[in-house]
Amino acid sequence: MAKKRIVSTTINGTQKDFLCEPRQTLLEVLRDSLDMTGTKEGCSNGNCGACTVHLDGRPVVSCLVLAVEADGATVETIEGVACNGQLHPLQDSFLNNAALQCGICTPGFIMQAKSLLAENPNPSEHDIRFYLAGNLCRCTGYDKIVRAVQDAAGKMSGCCSEAKV
Amino acid sequence: MSTTEANPGKKYTVIGTRPIRHDGVDKVTGRAKYGGDIRLTGMLFGVMLRSPHAHANIKSIDYSAALALPGVHAVVTVDDFPDAENKIAELGEGAINLQHLRHNVLAGPKALYRGHAVAAVAADTVNIAEDACKLIKVEYEVLKPVLTAPEAMKPDAPLLHNNVYTNSLGEETKQLSNVAKHFRFEKGDLEAGFKAAKVIVEREFNTATVHQGYIEPHNGTAMWNSDGKVTVWCSTQGSFTARQQVAELCHIPVGNVKVIPMEIGGGFGGKVSVYLEPVAAILSKKTGRPVKIIMNRADCFEGTGPTPGSYIRVKMGADANGKITAAEAYMAYEAGGYPGSPIGAGAMCVFACYDVPNGKVDGFDVCVNKPHTNAYRAPGATNAAMATETVIDEICEQLKMCSMEFRLKNAAVEGTRRIDGPVYPRIGMIESVEAIKNSDHWKTPLTGKNRGRGIATGFWFNCGLKSAVTATVNFDGSVGLVEGSTDIGGSRTGIAMQFAETLGIPVDQVMPSVGDTDSVGYTDVTGGSRVTFATGWAAYEAGLDIARQMCQRAATLWEVPADQVKYENGGVSGPGGKQISFKDLVVQTCKHGEPIVGRGSADPQCPGGAFATHCVDVEVDPDTGKVTVLRYTASQDVGTAIHPAYVEGQIQGGAVQGIGWGLNEEYFYDQSGVMRNSTFLDYRMPTCLDLPMIEAIIVEVPNPGHPYGVRGVGEVPIVPPPAALANAIYNAVGVRMTQLPMSPPRVLHEILAKK
């Protein structure tokens, strides 16, 4: 077994150091070592998007990122999206638009959609569908997810810029 | 809005509204605990070794080297399970022979499909367990695989089993065969029916194996305690069914097994049968520690039950007026490694939308070297509808008749007898077709080159089965509601809404949760579109039980005879205009007397069939054969829409699964029976970029067999899409598709063949 490495990160705004094997993925460490099971595992080969997190502000599928690559980086996960018990507008709009059924893909969709709205606060339907195409949902047929993102975009465009990212 | 509500349910206060689901915040914040999220002290991790061959005798398994690897705690094979009884276990939506289930969980003496589990390791980490699997020596005698029903039915086909004899038309034969069963339904005089026809169309169809494609992989965690009690945590569609399967396979009483259902990340029929739970239990028994096993995605494709590929031949005749005179179907469904495909349901559904005076349906359940098939949303019905609905389109073309009118003219109605026997109660087939006929989509002409519109209709029975609910009234007038149906799509809210409606209280005063098998009454699987119908009914009964108790309390409070008080309008009323709300009565009386607990159980017999009609516009690229869905509208008779947004969600989600089935999804097998596309990249499910919005039209023809008129909703929307797409493709580019999926190479092949 390869020697374990120390990795220093900032996860959801908190300094977090952990030990991991070089072969471990960020997804594995988040779920199994740090007990942050909000990030979901659907395929472990980058095809479904359920494990999407932000690494230095960029959306990544955490099953394709080695945990050691997160050294010195900031990581944001679904657990950090709601702030002080206040849901993010995307979380609110997913609930209000019934945009989830089983809910297993929801954390990944919210992380990906959050990136989209940070890049493009007024996306068209096509923009949304294009940006979310790497996230699979098997329950909803995507209709209500797309509407939820449109709804959140509309609500966030009136907010302070902090709420957008 | 995507919804037109035909009957906006004005007589109800809670039903028909769109509250936010009770488990919603947990699910958008990542707090909800799914099966894979469980962490237990001292937990070991299990990994299954799977057969690389589609068909092989297992001569020997030597796992001594694996067991010697540091960090490995136990290895098990099928021999670690006691012999199973040769009996059938009913699993709610489908049944399985326990010996077959035992051998499906861990193979022996044969591996019957690539991915068939042959051994399992428990180790300190998944990585060690994986390394250990590589050290297990399995000696295989590789046999020739057989991969489709027509091939497997040939007399010289390789045989999967030496103990499967064909049950032919109800009789056990002595014929060893891959055909486990042949049955027939008949009605009227088929020959006379075809003689009376002006137009007869007969076509053959082949459909590929497809997977449910839930995003959450199968998982199972078990702790076998030293007192012989076993606790199982898993993502299952039926905690009681999982309990039964674990108990039967481990030969322990069901009372010794407690299944704690975790949140479930999709099932669609695929999470009824157990795969990992009994293995985790046996590994735990051997090690004295909890053991958790999670499948990877390839295991999900290769090792769990997809829905069958099929061969179907349909022949239909109609007279000059467009009335169906006769219909005949020959249907062979792949059961996979063990008998038990959904051919029975498929054969009952094949002509179920229509009034067919003379009919015959032959069904065959055929073993092939693929994973043992399992239910997938209206199991068996989608394959069948592909055949019937495209043949009808062709008949209409020959009769120069609008296929919408044809469907209305021949629609099954109350009193119509299906070929397999049952007579329909009040159903909404006509209403579902008319909803499309009146839709904006149908009324808007489609223009443009290589574009076409298609419609198709579908039927699914829906199930009743057993459900139980317990309600506990809190001192502040809120109610804790424990129900036994695992909640895959928001059903706990739909159940709570029916309970709240019964008592006339706000739904946010009801806190629903899904109980484990020790804390709620027996409840059958979440399947068969039954949960909102049957568990909702149980909740209604629990509400009535509490209403009765409230009446007694009010009578005591007011010192009047109990027969002079009545529960109505969210409270109790009594003589002289006395009235008290539910909440006030609870607050006033809760400190005295026994706690207020209500119970409800149901085993309803009249689920009311579900009918759906879909309309789709496509554009076909004549150079590549790629089909783009331009517009999609789905109408469905839902009885009463308890939570319209969740009803729309079921319709939209089912339609999109049907689009995937119709256009892209399939298991690609090579000659040796190895699936070549067992990833989500290569098994091509629809992404949001592939789709338009899906317009859902809710039609409400209340089910007379339910207190609130509910019909099951979840399954039927997957049935019409492939046929609707095939009809649209024909109207776009003039080719009749008879194979699923209608992927670009297949469509292009037909376009080129036509040229």
In tens, the pLDDT along B389-411 reads: 999 999 999 999 999 999 999 99
Is B226 contained in some domain?
yes
Among B279, B294, B309, where does a domain finish? B294
The percentage of residues in chain B with a pLDDT greater than 70, rounded to a whole number, is: 98
Is B45 contained in some domain?
yes
As for how many domains chain B has, the answer is: 3
Stretch A83-101: mean pLDDT, rounded?
A: 97
Q: Is the pLDDT of residue B89 over 90?
A: no
Q: How far is CA B692 from CA B221, B460, B546, in A?
A: 39, 25, 46
Q: Which residues of B15-34 are buried (b: 16+ CB within 10 A; e: fewer)?
A: bbbbbbbbbbbebbbbbbeb
Check whether residue B553 and residue B429 sit in a common domain. no
Report yes or no: A39 and A29 within 8 Å, Cβ to Cβ.
no
Q: Is A133 on the interface with B (CB under 8 A)?
A: yes
Check whether residue B642 and residue B593 sit in a common domain. no
Measured at the CA of B476, the angle between CA B470 and CA B482, to 5 degrees, comes to: 15
Is B623 contained in some domain?
yes
Q: Is A93 on the interface with B (CB under 8 A)?
A: no
3-state secondary structure of B624: coil
Residue B622, preceding bond cis, omega within 30 degrees? no
Taking Cα atoms as reference points, which of B698, B746, B752, B697 lies closest to residue B722? B746
Taking Cα atoms as reference points, which of B223, B65, B212, B54 lies closest to residue B140? B54
* Domain A89-159 classification at class level: mainly alpha
Q: Please check whether the domain covering A5-80 is classified as CATH 3.40.50.720.
A: no
Say if the Cβ atoms of A95 and B31 lie within 8 Å.
no
Residue B219 Cα, gap to closest chain A Cα (Å): 12
| List of residues 6+ apart from B346 with CB closer than 8 A | B310, B331, B333, B363, B379, B380, B381, B383, B384
**Can you give the pLDDT at residue B92?**
66
Q: Is the pLDDT of residue B5 over 50?
A: no
- Helix%, strand%, coil% for chain A, nearest 5: 40, 20, 45
Check whether residue B476 and residue B598 sit in a common domain. yes
Cβ atoms within 10 Å of B320's Cβ, excluding its own: 10
Stretch B172-194: mean pLDDT, rounded?
A: 97
B43 or B5, greater pLDDT: B43
Among B550, B576, B602, where does a domain finish? B602
Is B354 contained in some domain?
no
Stretch B88-101: mean pLDDT, rounded?
A: 81
Q: Is the pLDDT of residue B8 over 60?
A: no
Paired tokens of B484: 């036994």
Query: How confident is the model over A35-68, as pLDDT tens digits?
Result: 999 999 999 999 999 999 999 999 999 999 999 9
Say if the Cβ atoms of A42 and B30 lie within 8 Å.
no
Query: How confident is the model over B142-166, as pLDDT tens digits?
Result: 999 999 999 999 999 999 999 999 9
Stretch B219-238: mean pLDDT, rounded?
A: 98
**Can you give the pLDDT at residue B96?**
83
Task: Give dist(CA B561, CA B661) in Å, integer.
Answer: 62
**Can you give the pLDDT at residue B158?**
98
**E strand segments, B501-641:** 510-514, 566-568, 571-574, 578-581, 597-602, 610-620, 627-637
Measured at the CA of A115, the angle between CA A109 and CA A120, to 5 degrees, comes to: 120
pLDDT-derived band at A21, boundaries 50, 70, 90? very high
Query: How confident is the model over B686-695, as pLDDT tens digits?
Result: 999 999 999 9
Say if the Cβ atoms of B264 and A47 lie within 8 Å.
no
> Do A5-80 and A89-159 have matching folds?
no
Query: How confident is the model over B632-663, as pLDDT tens digits?
Result: 999 999 999 999 999 999 999 999 999 999 99
For residue B147, which amino acid is it? L
Residue whose entry in the numeric block shows the structure tokens 């409230």: B550
pLDDT-derived band at B93, boundaries 50, 70, 90? low
CATH of the domain at B457: 3.30.365.10
Task: Give dist(CA B16, CA A85) in Å, integer.
Answer: 30
Q: Is B71 on the interface with A (CB under 8 A)?
A: no
Report yes or no: B190 and B376 within 8 Å, Cβ to Cβ.
no
Q: How far is CA B593 from CA B553, B556, B563, in A?
A: 9, 11, 20
Interface with chain A: mutation pick from B43, B688, B694, B713, highest number of A CBs within 10 Å: B688
Query: How confident is the model over B720-754, as pLDDT tens digits?
Result: 999 999 999 999 999 999 999 999 999 999 999 99
Task: Give dist(CA B715, CA B532) in Å, integer.
Answer: 12
Task: Count interface pairs A-B at CB distance under 8 A.
Answer: 184
**Can you give the pLDDT at residue A161?**
43
Check whether residue B521 and residue B557 sit in a common domain. yes
Q: What is the 3-state secondary structure (H, E, C) of B269-318?
A: CCCCCCCCHHHHHHHHHHHCCCEEEECCHHHHHHHCCCECCEEEEEEEEE
Which positions 153-212 of B are in contact with A (Cβ < 8 Å)? 212
Check whether residue B714 and residue B612 sit in a common domain. yes
Q: Which residues of B498-525 are buried (b: 16+ CB within 10 A; e: fewer)?
A: bbbbbbbbebebbebebbbbeebbbbbb
Residue B413 Cα, gap to closest chain A Cα (Å): 30
**E strand segments, B545-691:** 566-568, 571-574, 578-581, 597-602, 610-620, 627-637
What is the sign of the dihedral through the CA atoms of A12, A17, A18 and A23? positive
Which residues is B615 bridged to in the sheet?
Answer: B455, B633
The pLDDT mean for chain B works out to: 96
Is B656 contained in some domain?
yes
Q: Which of A88-92, B96-100, B144-148 has the lowest mean pLDDT?
A: B96-100
**Can you give the pLDDT at residue B90?**
75
Owning domain of residue B70: 35-143+216-294
Q: What is the pTM of this model?
A: 0.97
ipTM over 0.90: yes
Report yes or no: B385 and B719 within 8 Å, Cβ to Cβ.
yes
Query: How confident is the model over B662-687, as pLDDT tens digits?
Result: 999 999 999 999 999 999 999 999 99
**Can you give the pLDDT at residue B593?**
86
Task: Give dist(CA B622, CA A27) in Å, integer.
Answer: 43
Is B474 contained in some domain?
yes
Taking Cα atoms as reference points, which of A145, A149, A87 lies closest to residue A121? A149
CATH of the domain at B54: 3.90.1170.50
Q: Is the pLDDT of residue B359 over 50?
A: yes
Query: How confident is the model over B17-26, as pLDDT tens digits?
Result: 999 999 999 9
Stretch A87-104: mean pLDDT, rounded?
A: 98
**Can you give the pLDDT at residue B7?**
45
Check whether residue B472 and residue B501 sit in a common domain. yes
